[in-house]
Amino acid sequence: MRLVILEDYDLASEWAAKYIRNRIITFRPTAQRYFTLGLPTGSTPYACYKKLIEYHKSGDLSFKYVKTFNMDEYVGLPRAHPESYHSYMWNNFFKHVDIDPANAHILDGNAQDLEAECAVFEKDIADAGGIDLFVGGIGPDGHIAFNEPGSSLVSRTRVKTLAKDTIVANARFFGHDLSKVPTMALTVGVGTVMDSREVMIVITGAHKAFALYKAIEDGVNHMWTVSAFQQHPRTIFVCDEDATLELRVKTVKYFKGETETLCLVFTSYQ
C-alpha cells in the first residue's frame, strides 16, 4: 500500500486528481484501447472532480476514450432526483467533460430486475477489459461503496440493505429526514473492486480517521471492508492530516517520508 498524506482536503483532492490525470495521459487511450475508470460519489471526491474538470477545460485531459463505471446507486430513487448518484455524476462531472454518454456506466436503481442489472454491470466491466483504476472513498464505518460491515470480501455487484450508520450519514442530503433516505442500494462488491488493476482510496476529515486506522493498521476484517485492499497489489490511500489522527505516529512518519519521493516522481508530469 502507498499512503499519501497531504496537508488538507483541497491538497489531497488535487493530488488525487493529478494522479488520475497522469494515469490517463500516460496510458494514451484510443478508440481501440479505452482507459477504464471506477468512480465514487459523495462529499469526499467533490473537489477532485472539480480539479479534473479544470484539467479538461485547460485542454490537458480528454475523456473521449475513457470508460467510467460508478460504484453504486440508490434503489428506488427517481433518476432525476437531485440526490441520485446519476444527478451527482451529471452535475458534478459528466456535463463538464467530453465523455461519450455510452461509456458512462452507472447502475440503474430503478431497473425492473435488480439482480439482472447487477449481473449486466459485471459483464460490462468484463467486456471493457476490466478496470484500470478504481477510485473510491471510505464510509465512517469503513465501508467501500455500499459494502457495509459484514459484507463478504469476495462479493460481486449486488443489492445491499444500507446500515443505520450509512442512512444517518446520508440524512443530511435528504433534509435531515431519515424517512426520506433510501434504504437499499446497488453496489459493486469488494471483489469487484479488488479485480481492478489499481485502487485509489481518498479519505479526508477527522470523522474518517478511525475508519482509516481500522482499514490499514488492523487486520483484514469484513467489518471494515476497506481493509480488504491490504491484499491488493496496487493500492494508494490518499488522505489529509485530519484523517491520520487515529494512526500511529510511526505509520505517518514512514509514509510521509515515502510521499516526498512519490511527489518528486509525479511532478515531472505537471
Partner 1 sequence: MPSNGSVSDAPITQFINCRILKEHTLQREDLWVRDGRILDPEKLFFDEQGYADRQLDCGGAILAPGFIDVQLNGGYGVDFSTPSEDPGAGVAFVAKKILEHGVTSFCPTLVTSPPSVYHKVLPEVKVQSGGVHGAGVLGVHLEGPFISLEKKGAHPEQFLRTFGGSGGVNPLLEVYGGLDNVSMVTLAPELAGSQSVVEELSQRGVTVSLGHSVANLSQAEEAVQQGASFITHLFNAMLPFHHRDPGIVGLLTSNRIPAGRSVFYGMIADGIHTNPAALRIAHRAHPAGLVLVTDAIMAMGLPPGRHTLGQQVIEIQGLHAYVAGNTLTSSPVPNQLTFDSRILNVFWGLGTTTLSGSIATMDMCVRHFQQASGCSVPEALEAASLHPAQLLGISHQKGSLEYGCDADLVLMDDQMVLEATYISGVEVWRK
Q: Give me the active site residues, please.
A: 72, 141, 143, 148
Q: Which of 8, 43, 76, 100 binds partner 1 (CB under 8 A)?
A: 100
The amino acid sitting at 81 is: H
Q: Which of 2, 33, 95, 207 binds partner 1 (CB under 8 A)?
A: 95
Cβ pair 134, 35 in contact under 8 A: no
Q: Give which of 158, 154, 139 is closest to 194, Cα–Cα.
A: 154
Least Cβ distance, residue 102 to partner 1 (angstroms) = 5
Between 94 and 146, name the residue whose CB sits nearer to partner 1.
94
CA distances, 247 to each of 3, 207, 233, 260 (Å): 11, 13, 22, 19
Cβ pair 223, 150 in contact under 8 A: yes
User: If binding is defined by CB under 8 A, does position 175 make contact with partner 1?
Assistant: no
Rounded to 5 degrees, φ, ψ at 99 are: -75, 145
In whole angstroms, what is the distance from residue 216 CA to residue 147 CA?
17
User: If binding is defined by CB under 8 A, does position 56 make contact with partner 1?
Assistant: no
DSSP label at residue 69? E
User: If binding is defined by CB under 8 A, does position 174 make contact with partner 1?
Assistant: no
User: If binding is defined by CB under 8 A, does position 81 make contact with partner 1?
Assistant: no
Q: Which residue has the cell 489529509?
A: 240
Helices (H), 199-244: 209-216
Least Cβ distance, residue 169 to partner 1 (angstroms) = 25
User: If binding is defined by CB under 8 A, does position 31 make contact with partner 1?
Assistant: no
User: If binding is defined by CB under 8 A, does position 97 make contact with partner 1?
Assistant: no
- Select the span of 86-94, 149-157, 203-211, 234-242 touching partner 1 (CB under 8 A): 86-94
User: If binding is defined by CB under 8 A, does position 102 make contact with partner 1?
Assistant: yes
Give me 73's grid cell. 446507486
User: If binding is defined by CB under 8 A, does position 79 make contact with partner 1?
Assistant: yes
Binding site for partner 1 (CB under 8 A): 79-80, 86-87, 90, 94-95, 100-102, 104, 106
